[in-house]
A and B are shown apart, each in its own frame.
Chain A
Amino acid sequence: MKNGSPLGKLRAPLQRARFPWAAPTWPTGMERPAPDRGVGVDYDTQWARRYPARLARAVVLDNLTRPLAHAVAAPAVIGEEMLKLAEQPVILAANHASHLDTPLLLSVLPLPMRHRTVVAAAADHFFDRRWKAHLWAGALNAIPIERHRVNRRSADMAADLLEEGWNLVIFPEGGRSPDGWLQPFRGGAAYLAVRSGRPVVPVHLSGTWRLLPKEARRLHRGRTAVRFGAPLHPDPGEDARRFGTRIAAAITTMADEADSDWWTARRRAAAGVTPPGTGPVAAPWRRAWALGPDPASTEDEDPGRWAVRVGSR
């Protein structure tokens, strides 16, 4: 959207809006009051999993979200067959770099899995207001998860949904990457897997950060790739910490694969020399530099209108 367009002209002042035109920021150190009951982790998402909401969401996801995601992000789907190796429900543990990640991942999931998946979303961000909670629960089948501390209610809800046969998308990093590199993984996915006994399918999303990075106000078109790894089952007696390390290693290996190729990444993994994917410990500009140029800016090739699929369906 160009700023010169009528919509752009309307949007620009809204984006620049500051208090009192926009909501106030909260001073550091000031304790926030407990959220109203009914928002945050207390929000009841049951209604979003009832048939009318599921039908409406399926119509929107298949006819609006999915075409749009493909048009904007042109996802290459790699290793989709891995999803067939595990009995559903599964936990899809993915890296997180952009708000595009969730709609993109949902839109490339095969049917009927696509319509039988819930998304763990940050309670403090997506469920802090009632209207936001309604929106994300309805549109993405999101459930509120406390990301900064262990919350029994969040964990119980996710475990119960797995028990009921719902697949779960979770982003173990706990939030979007600020600069495109991987962040340390937290133990939520591993804990749920160990608790529920369900397998974890590691997922790596690449390219979404360049299309819609954190703090960005404009969406770019470009290419993305969604890689599904082999399902991971917690070994007997394996605790969540160890299992979490395996999940992180699997996603890191797929990140390496995205930058090289499958065979190279596998050999590096076998030799224990997989790049950590968290980028160099250096000044922000050097971390940005190390990401390399945007492939979209160096290729003239039209990414095409619809998805480029690699691997079997």
Chain B
Amino acid sequence: MSPRPGFMLEVDRSTPPTLFWHGEGFHLERLPEGSRVLYGPEPLEALADPVSAIRRALFEPLGDSAPLPELLRPGMRLTIAFDDVSLPLPPMRRPDVRQLVIEQVLDVAAEAGVDDVVLIAALALHRRMTDAELRHALGDRIYEAFAPHGLLRQHDAEEPAALVLLGETDQGETVEISRRAAESDLLVYVNINLVPMDGGHKSVATGLASYRSLRHHHNARTMQHSRSFMDQEHSELHSSNWRMGRFIAASGVKVFQIETTLNTDTFPEQFRFLQRREWEWTARDRAAFVASSSALARTPPRVARTIFHAIRSPHRMTSVQAGEVEAVHARTTANVYAQQLVEVDGQTDVLTMGLPYICPYNVNSIMNPILVACLGLGYFFNMYRGRPLVRQGGVVIMSHPTPWAFSPVHHPSYIDFFEQVLSETTDPLEVGKFEESFATDPWYVHLYRTGHAYHGVHPFYMWYWCAHALEHLGGVIVVGGDRAAVRRLGFTPASTMADALEMATDVVGPGPSITHLHAPPLVMADVR
């Protein structure tokens, strides 16, 4: 049976309560009659033979690119860059898509007699991956072949010797990327497109760039003009990356782009109910929900976090395409939309969302309050095309425990940002005045380069990610969150969803229309 498309459910008396994620847990909420719930399409069929599909993509590239074997020759410098630990979410079961693709690329390179091959994790300003994470993403065979010889590297945006300044775009944007990538005869980028924002020119122009380069599009003004940044046609973030990407190509960097899409089969069998429609829950689903939610309610947060971060998603590949960046990305985006896009009639006064335990920046880590804001107002709010799901001046209600807790290993600069910057202002345009000091702080730079810390400027980017939503919304309410942390974010805490809905009427008026974004699994609204 082919997967059913997504749809908007109108809640009535017969509708069972709706599942809301709440960090490392979940609960059921009975939404008022007349509310709408946006359900995503069911997971698309996976490729029956992904290895053959990958080889076909390499040998039959899109756009004006030659087949990969024709681009390879003995004595050349080949660099293979790949997306970092922020994709996919949750981390997928082995074999990871990156392993499948890179193994095929390396097979072709071996057949062509290419000796000089380096693999680079395209971190941008993200934290360095651990050895275990690299091994998981690439598989044992690749890891053992490259890591011991120093040929498996992680992009370092703060190592001057490892960067090269290519110049400026016609808009004055500095383009500085990895020297190894820029000076290779061929750069193969292996991408995972989990959301429409990923991929395209953004892969190289962001993933392998320096802070000097990134700041041109990772700022509040750009994000306010990205409506949304999940819709490339209307995203200033993408416009800037596309200018840079074309500039990189014009500078002589030859990029062979490989993009993959995954289905939304997000949770393993024991958590199957998390991606099923509530009225279709079987007795087993209900038993699993009751058992897991009851157990999690009694589990210390640290243990619950460990349990959840051990989840390996059964995501499977639905498409793979390779060749020239823009031709590849056009098809990739269409495939992502096929999996996630749902047509929606009209906006809503109040948008509710249950936020899960994970976002791209806390894999194997703590979801601190800044990341909560980023996931809700950055990612989920922007999962739209056309118009935002919630109207101008509307209210977003997020359900998440929002603990006042940070990982000092992964997010050291977040702690200071939360304490020093957000205590002074929550305006994304104003926080920018603190950016330089965080970005150039030697201690943060040291931790980024030698430890597993996000770059000092990263919390600013998270806050910029919220800029469009903060400008658009009349209020943000967090249900069940740490009240002090929520207030520090500039949001309003509420104890229950009923309280939050009541409080929202102060902003949007009585009898508001309510829409719930039933995610994850990921769903994107095409708002008419």
Contact = CB atoms under 8 A, between A and B. Distances in A.
Interface of A: 19-21, 23-30
Contact of B290 (A20, A25, A27, A29): A20
B15 A20 contact: no
A27 B11 contact: yes
B283 interface: yes
B12 A20 contact: no
Interface in B1-59: 9-17, 28
B505 to A, nearest CB: 25
B16 A25 contact: yes
A29 B15 CA distance: 10
Nearest to A20: B286
Contact of B14 (A20, A21, A23, A25): A25
Contacts of A25: 14-16, 279
B229 interface: no
Given A26-B14, A27-B15, A28-B14, A21 B9 contact: no
Nearest to B282: A23
Nearest to B290: A20
Given A26-B279, A28-B12, A30-B279, A21 B28 contact: no
A20 B279 contact: no
Nearest to B283: A23
Contacts of A28: 12-15
A28 B280 CA distance: 13
B289 A20 contact: yes
A68 to B, nearest CB: 30
Contacts of A24: 16, 278-281, 286
A207 to B, nearest CB: 32
A20 B281 contact: yes
Contacts of B283: 23
Interface centre among B13, B28, B279 (most CB of A within 10 A): B279
B256 to A, nearest CB: 44
Interface in B275-304: 278-281, 283, 286, 289-290
What 6 A-B pairs are tightest by C-beta distance, nearest first? A24-B16, A20-B286, A27-B15, A19-B16, A24-B279, A25-B14
Nearest to A26: B279
A265 to B, nearest CB: 41
A244 B506 CA distance: 60
A19 B278 contact: yes
Contacts of B28: 19-20
Nearest to A24: B16
A26 B279 CA distance: 5
Contacts of A20: 28, 281, 286, 289-290
Contacts of A19: 16-17, 28, 278, 281, 286
B160 to A, nearest CB: 57
A21 B13 CA distance: 18
A19 B287 CA distance: 11
A26 B281 CA distance: 10
A105 to B, nearest CB: 32
A25 B290 CA distance: 17
A26 B11 CA distance: 11
A23 B13 CA distance: 15
B124 to A, nearest CB: 42
Nearest to B278: A24
11 contacts: A19-B17, A19-B278, A19-B286, A20-B281, A20-B286, A21-B290, A26-B279, A27-B11, A27-B15, A27-B279, A28-B15
Nearest to A25: B14
A20 B290 CA distance: 7
A203 B452 CA distance: 82
Contacts of B11: 27
A274 to B, nearest CB: 38
A308 B374 CA distance: 76
A27 B13 CA distance: 8
Contacts of B290: 20-21
Contacts of B289: 20
A28 B10 CA distance: 9
Interface in B230-261: none
Nearest to B288: A20
Nearest to B7: A30
A129 to B, nearest CB: 10
B95 to A, nearest CB: 33
Nearest to A22: B286
Nearest to B279: A24
Contacts of A23: 283, 286
A251 B277 CA distance: 45
Nearest to B285: A20
A21 B12 contact: no
A28 B13 CA distance: 8
A19 B29 CA distance: 11
Contacts of A27: 9-12, 14-16, 279
Nearest to B16: A24
B285 to A, nearest CB: 8
A304 to B, nearest CB: 43
A26 B278 CA distance: 9
Given A20-B281, A27-B10, A29-B10, 5 more contacts: A19-B281, A19-B286, A21-B290, A25-B15, A28-B15
A20 B13 CA distance: 16
Contacts of B9: 27, 30
A281 B12 CA distance: 28
B461 to A, nearest CB: 39
A273 to B, nearest CB: 41
B451 to A, nearest CB: 43
B342 to A, nearest CB: 15
B376 to A, nearest CB: 25
A29 B14 CA distance: 10
B401 to A, nearest CB: 21
Contacts of A30: 9, 279
Contacts of B17: 19
A51 to B, nearest CB: 34
B354 to A, nearest CB: 16
A11 B143 CA distance: 60
A23 B9 CA distance: 19
A51 B170 CA distance: 90
Contacts of B15: 25, 27-28
A249 to B, nearest CB: 37
Interface string B260-279: 00000000000000000011
Nearest to B287: A20
A29 B289 CA distance: 25
Interface centre among A20, A21, A25, A27 (most CB of B within 10 A): A20
A30 to B, nearest CB: 7
A124 to B, nearest CB: 15
Nearest to B286: A20
A35 to B, nearest CB: 13
Nearest to B280: A24
B286 A21 contact: yes
Contacts of B13: 28
B1 to A, nearest CB: 9
A173 B15 CA distance: 28
Interface centre among A19, A24, A30 (most CB of B within 10 A): A24
Contacts of B12: 27-29
